[in-house]
Amino acid sequence: MVKALHGAGIEVILDVVYNHTAERGPTGPCLSFRGIDNSTYYLLQGDLHTYRDDTGTGNVLRTGHPTVRNLVIDSLRYWVREMHVDGFRFDLASILSRDLDGFIRLGDASIISEISSDPDFADVRLIAEPWDLATYQLGRSFPGFDWRQWNGRFRDDVRRFVKSDPGQVPALMRRLYGSDDLFPDTGDDVYRPYQGVSFVDSHDGFCMYDLTAYNAKRNHANGAQDRDGNDSNNSWNCGWEGDDGAPPQVLGLRKRQVKNFCTLLLLSNATPMFVMGDELLQTQGGNNNPYNQDNETTWLDWDRLAANADIHRFFKSMIAFRRAHPTLARGRFWRDDLRWHGVAGPPDLRFESRSVAYYLDGKPQQDVDIYVMISAYWEPLRFTVQEQASDRRAWKRAIDTSLESPLDIAEPGSELVLGTPDYVVTPRSVVVLVR
């Protein structure tokens, strides 16, 4: 399988769980490590009987112990040498920074240091989910200096902005720029924007469409009386809870909001990630923790591809747009090539503001210039493009998420020439111009 995917130019990154095992808590089954050497393989409380539970699954693997470290690293080495995978995403990776007694040791996270310095992993992508139930290490706090990290702040800030929460414009600006507050590129901290993995949704939580269709989770089928899963989803149902009986205008707004998510994600200067199924509006029926659902809740519904061909086209075209414009995804931050604007002047950073614009100079990357207008406001806004060239080079509209397919994103070479510096941005939409 790996060879076939490599033949198609697709990398394989394995999601690995080296933080807990299926043996669960004190009442769980004895499958392997518990029967071999309980106190070596697991972090225990002072009574040497009660399991630490910083993972929420009943136990914590004791990766600070040399024997456990060797087991993990041998496992990684097998997948690289024998199976030729291209990288790993480490689930709840903050567990790896705990010592023999379960304390965080950022300056001496032995297993992370060993993985980072091992020549077998020199060309392997190492991606951390930099938190566990008790620790949040996103950015500089995570001891894997050159690792990539899931950027949960991007997820939360973009969700809040798109649902029109107030006070989110400064946060959105930071996330689009590459989250230099988390991954600074000062002389002491030479991070790169691509080290942040930006995402709106993942296998945990609501899928992208459900973020636009449900205000509350619906997890009763999981068997925990709806007490499992996250209650803070930062979702908005666009005026109608669920799909049953949803009117056409609500369904249309949901499509626009999904396109907004996609556009902001792929315009950001970071490594973007979305979930297979987002591009065809896959739904989990409001279940945000379907880990034990092997049924229609989690199976990919391919009928939605034909039903939502316009969204599928938009995702494909948006990916192509990002790849065609190197000024967006750079190995460094945008710095002086970026200028922020507002509707008709400087950016509005007030708490009640819900709009912003920016200009990216493409010349240093041998690319076109890009101008982006973003509005999460519920009324139309007339933007005035602030970057007008003396040679009267014309701005052209490449993307407007409020328009129906295929006008929402133009094929290369068919962008609409603007005859005026003003553009009316439809409520809750993103417009991208090129020059």
User: Which residues participate in catalysis according to the annotation?
Assistant: 91, 129
Residue 357, Cβ density class (10 Å: 0-12 exposed, 13-18 middle, ≥19 buried): buried
H helix or E strand, kind and range, residue 432: strand 429-434
Closest CA to 320 of 385, 234, 258, 413: 413
* Nearest alpha carbon to residue 267 among 423, 434, 405: 434
Contacts 24+ apart (CB under 8 A), 81-86: 81/120, 83/2, 84/2, 84/3, 84/6, 84/12, 85/2, 85/12, 85/13, 85/14, 85/124, 86/11, 86/12, 86/13, 86/124, 86/125
Asked if 333 and 180 count as a contact pair (C-beta separation under 8 A), the reply is: yes
How many other CB atoms are there within 10 angstroms of residue 277's CB atom? 21
SS3 (DSSP) at 166: coil
Locate 67 and state its tokens. Answer: 């024997």
Alpha-carbon torsion 324, 329, 333, 338, what sign?
Answer: positive
DSSP string, 39-87: HHHB-B-TTSSSBP-TTSSS--B-TTSHHHHHHHHHHHHHHHHTT---E
User: How far apart are alpha carbons 90 and 79 in whole angstroms?
Assistant: 14
> 370: Cβ–Cβ under 8 A, 6 or more apart, which residues?
325, 327, 328, 359, 360, 362, 432, 433, 434, 435
